[in-house]
Structure 1
Amino acid sequence: MLTGAVVLSLLSLAWLSQGFPTALNPLNPYPDKPRVTFKPDGSFTLSVFSDLHFGENPWDTWGPEQDRKSLVIMRDVLSREKPDYIVLNGDQITGENTFKENSTTLVNILTQPIRDAKIPFSSTYGNHDNQVNITHLAELEQELKIAPTSYTRRSPPGVGGPGGEANYWVPIYAKSTDAAPSLIFWFFDSRGGISTEGKALPDWVDESVAQWIESETAVMEKAWGPAENRAAMVFVHIPPHVMESLQKTLNSAKEPGLNADPLGVGSTQSSESTSGGQDLDLPFWNTVNSKIKNLLAVVSGHDHGNEWCKRDPAKDVVLCFDKHSGYGGYSKGGWGYGTRTFQFSLKTLKSSVTSWVRMEDGSKKDQVTLDKNYSR
């Protein structure tokens, strides 16, 4: 008979094989991957592709043509920005247009430019990634099969709720020999869409994630010291519900960026009929702001016509929209396509980050410095 200690060791090894931190290895979720580090000059560039919406109408000529144009944008951005890290911030695939037998092959196609460039990257997933013929988990598992530079992980057991399998964090180090990271990227699964059985899924980060954030940050502080020693950034596909109220007081002179998508039902977390009109993302939102320190920005996509950043005065945190990156999904004339880029510096890491939107034609616009003075 196996002793309790042996059983615990076997369970820990099993968790390690899936990339989960354990008591034996609490803060090294990537034992088989190289550490992600800043450049020797102390800089670090992150580019975010959001709402690519691959796979629309594969039976028509315009569907595959959209995907081809999206791949051109991705390759151009990688060439211009030369990022050290990539985030795919949800709605990679328009799942309602795919076929079940080949839906995950779209993951191979949309990640090809990143894999060719051998750049480390992470994914969040959106409401269109949960549909009858595709799920967040199916996309995640396919990504890990084909992409050695993917740092996407599955949520630990019991974390994330139905359809919310991608809650995790990635440590970014100043240099590979450091005992602790200088920056943490947090990725949260806002779910949405429908299940494979055709039932509507909640469109907010599950309450179980709040409890997980508390436990993870406690372990981090025990091992690495106070959370104030590190900076952080949060990525989630559907914006926190608070962004609806922030849009009402947006000042385009101080908070530049396209603001063409009115926020309402379906635009932010817990705004669908499944929420019953309640802010059900509050446990997540409150815990993010109380436990994650030096939070430079909360970054989301979902609403294709918005690309602004604004401070939430209640939590004193900046929230940013991405830029609609793919030709798939809804759009209007003049919105254009592109990416949001963030430029970090070790010299100012705990207090500021620079961000801009890079358009398809190569132009750079709406550059801002997200610091203590921004959006006040």
Structure 2
Amino acid sequence: MYSFILSFTALLCLRQHYDVLAAPVLSAQNLLSLDPYPNKPRVTFRQDGTFKITVFSDLHYGENPWDDWGPQQDVNSAQLMRQALTIEKPDYVVLNGDLITGENTFAENSTTLIDEIVAPLNEVKIPFSSTHGNHDNNINITHIAEILREQKVAPLSYTRTAPPGVGGEFGPGTYWVPVYADTQAKKPILILWFFDSRGGFSPGANSKPVPDWVDSTVATWIDQQTSIMNTAWGPAENNRASMAFVHIPPHAIQVVQTTLNSTINPGLNADILGVGSTQATTNSANSGKDDAFWETLNTKVKNLKVVVSGHDHGNEWCAREPTQDVIFCFDKHSGFGGYSSAGWLHGIRSFVLNTTVTDVKAGIESYVLVEDGTTRDRVFLDRNYV
């Protein structure tokens, strides 16, 4: 009989691993390097000055492992990943949450699903990062367990953990990755930010709901990190750009859906945002609990080109969030697991940048590639985009 309970010893081991592998708090003493990845290849733009990011979201591996249907969805998802990687040939990949359907996994093999997920990335030796979603926290799986497994089996994983005390309970996956113009550059021109929006359920016999928003401690961390970056590299304006990835859309995005224009904001718009579909909405009393994160992200991270989320499988549009004057994009439901509907299809979202991205007026191109090999929803995200 399968055990659905993580022992206290196992949880303690995970906590110890978390403390060991957590990213160090960068301070004035180590400003000269400011490199969180001294033992990994530097992530750089291509020689032609371009940089492509491909996002796989909501893969939902591990559904219904007790019958034929579930494992077949994982086969289909892996096939889509390999197809998209062949067509897109990205420079970097983001796995934007809900890698695993945690409520369906067994304790004995839950984290080994990560091996299957990262296999296509390992095959083509492409650097990548992960965020984690509400389905990645459950009775037999946690964000930290997935992160530790990914770090173990994927040499080019750039996923890491925030320092202890940042991210709230069951939300360790907050970090940033620097991207340089070339291997000799002294400072990055692009920062990729990754935030843990938590959600789901805590592990063990006394499982309880986990808050589904980016914890307020992350706001303080953003303030600290941007201050250190500014001291080391100079102010961000016309110096470096940023992109942010978080699984559950910020609460502020809910109202944006009511003003979409299908010409300016093309893409599937089949999920009506509401309870459970944006941060801090599993309980209406919690609405706005991500305000500290959202405000700090947009006031401290200058030249923020776009914020990217998954979670709502039926949405794939981009639009400007007016209160913070920032562009938001849904990525595309990639996995054959997870809910879907006829005609939605599965696919990926890509972003194409070039080294002029440091200019606050510069934009980036984005589009969706679907499983039949066609592209759609192409937009150019710049200061004029609404």
TM-score normalised by length of structure 1: 0.94
Alpha-carbon distance, 1:349 to partner: 4.5
**Cα gap change, 1:314 to 1:22, in 2 (>3 Å):** closer
For the residues of structure 2 that align with 1:264 and 1:34, how far apart are their CA atoms? 41
* Counterpart code for 2:274: G
Give the counterpart letter for 2:270 in structure 1: A
Q: Which residue of 1 aligns with 2:219?
A: 210
Q: 1:20 aligns with which of 21, 24, 27?
A: 24
| Counterpart Cα distance in 2 of 1:315 and 1:309 | 15
Q: 2:363 maps to what in 1? A: 352
Pick which of 107-116 and 346-355 moved more.
346-355
2:255 to 245, 250, 254: 245
Q: Tell me if 1:233 matches 2:243.
A: yes
Contact map agreement 2:23 2:163 (CA 8 A) in 1: no
Q: Which runs of 4+ in 1 moved over 6 A?
A: 14-17
| Candidates 288, 302, 305, aligned match of 2:297 | 288
Contact 1:49 1:323 in 2 (8 A): yes
Tell me, in whole angstroms, the C-alpha distance in 2 between the residues paired with 1:245 and 1:349: 30
**Separation in 2, partners of 1:41, 1:20:** 34
Q: Per-residue deviation at 1:22?
A: 3.6
Provide the residue aligned with 1:365 in structure 2.
376
Equivalent-residue separation in structure 2 for 1:333 and 1:234 (angstroms): 30
Aligned pairs for 1:298-313 (under 5 A) are: 298-313=307-322
SS at match of 2:30: coil
Distance in 2 (alpha carbons) for counterparts of 1:209 and 1:96: 27
Q: Is the 1:47–1:83 Cα contact (8 Å) retained in structure 2?
A: yes
The alpha carbon displacement at 1:278 in A equals 2.7
Q: CA deviation at 1:243?
A: 1.1
The answer for unaligned runs of 5 or more in structure 2 is: 1-17
Match runs of 1:332-351 below 5 Å: 332-350=341-359, 351=362
Do the aligned partners of 1:45 and 1:84 also contact (CA within 8 Å) in 2? yes
Residue aligned with 1:248, SS: helix
Once the two structures are superposed, the pairs formed by residues 1-376 of structure 1 within 5 Å of their partners are 18-23=22-27, 24-26=29-31, 27-196=34-203, 197-228=206-237, 229-273=239-283, 276-350=285-359, 351-375=362-386
2: distance between equivalents of 1:59 and 1:162? Answer: 31
Contact 2:60 2:99 in 1 (8 A): yes
Separation of aligned partners in 2, 1:301 and 1:348:
24
Provide the rounded CA distance (Å) in 1 between the counterparts of 2:385 and 2:267.
14
- Contact 1:158/1:208 (8 A) holds in 2: yes
Change (3 A) 1:292 1:175: same
What is the SS of the residue equivalent to 1:75?
helix
- How has the CA–CA distance of structure 1 residues 177 and 16 changed in structure 2, closer, same or farther, with 3 Å as cutoff? farther
Q: Distance in 2 between matches of 1:263 and 1:67?
A: 27
In the alignment, the residues of structure 2 paired with residue 145 and residue 283 of structure 1 have an alpha-carbon distance, to the nearest angstrom, of 33
Query: Structure 1 residues 321, 17: CA separation in 2 closer, same or farther (over 3 Å shift)?
Result: closer
Q: CA deviation at 1:49?
A: 0.2
Per the normalisation by structure 2, the TM-score is 0.91
CA–CA distance in structure 2, aligned partners of residues 132 and 233 of structure 1: 32
SS of the aligned residue for 1:103 comes to coil
Structure 1 residues without counterparts, runs of 5 or longer: 1-13
Aligned residue for 1:111, secondary structure, equals helix
AA partner of residue 199 (structure 2): G
Question: 1:276 Cα deviation (Å)?
Answer: 1.5
Two-structure CA RMSD over aligned residues (Å): 1.4
Query: Which residue does 1:4 correspond to in 2?
Result: none
SS in 2 for 1:257: coil
Partners of 1:363 and 1:218 lie apart in 2 by: 42
Distance in 1 (alpha carbons) for counterparts of 2:23 and 2:182: 22
State whether residues 334 and 346 of structure 2, in contact with CA within 8 Å, keep that contact through their aligned partners in structure 1: yes
CA distance in 2, matches of 1:22, 1:348: 25
